[in-house]
Amino acid sequence: MGQVAAESEMVVKQDLRVVAEVRRFVRLVTGQWGMDDFVPCLVASELVTNAIQYASASDDDVTLRLGRTDEGALWMEVQDATCDLPHMLDIDAISETGRGLFIVDQFCRCWGVRPLAGDVGKVVFAVIDPA
């Protein structure tokens, strides 16, 4: 996979209104790297929303990190404090919710989950090719 360099980090408060701030942060970082921000904003919004809605107690922070691999892909990870693993739902065409990981799966080169040692949470990561 290669080394990830130049990591940027944002701690996300437990409030769905922060998703706009998340997008601003992603636009800022991807802009510095000369990357198109559409897919990174979409994926970050979905992963952060999932973490806030399903994964954390109200006082646990969610952390978003962005980095670049040595071949220029975007490495994104969202860390939260639960060990519950996310899973893709079977969604129907008219469903309003449940599309988060489906979207991530469609737009990312790869994604996955790694539990943190000591049962303190997990990291969901995604790798997005430069457009």
Q: Which residue has the tokens 């988060």?
A: 100
Specify the range with the lowest mean pLDDT, choosing from 8-22, 54-68, 72-86. 54-68
Q: Is the pLDDT of residue 120 over 50?
A: yes
pTM over 0.85: no
Contacts of residue 123, defined as CB under 8 A and 6 or more positions apart, other chains included, come to: 77, 78, 79, 113, 114, 116
Q: Is the pLDDT of residue 96 over 90?
A: no
Residue 113 CA to residue 32 CA, distance in Å, equals 27
37 pLDDT band, cuts 50/70/90, is very high
Q: Is the pLDDT of residue 4 over 60?
A: no
**Residue-wise burial string across 5-41, b where 16 or more C-beta atoms lie within 10 A, e elsewhere:** eeebebebeeeeebbeebbebbbebbeeeebebebbb
Determine contact, residues 100/47, Cβ cutoff 8 Å.
Answer: yes
pLDDT at 128: 96
- Choose the most confident range, by mean pLDDT, from 11-15, 29-33, 91-95, 103-107: 29-33
Q: Which residue has the tokens 């969610």?
A: 62
DSSP string spanning 94-113?
T-SSS-HHHHHHHH-SEEEE
pLDDT at 119: 83
Q: Is the pLDDT of residue 2 over 90?
A: no
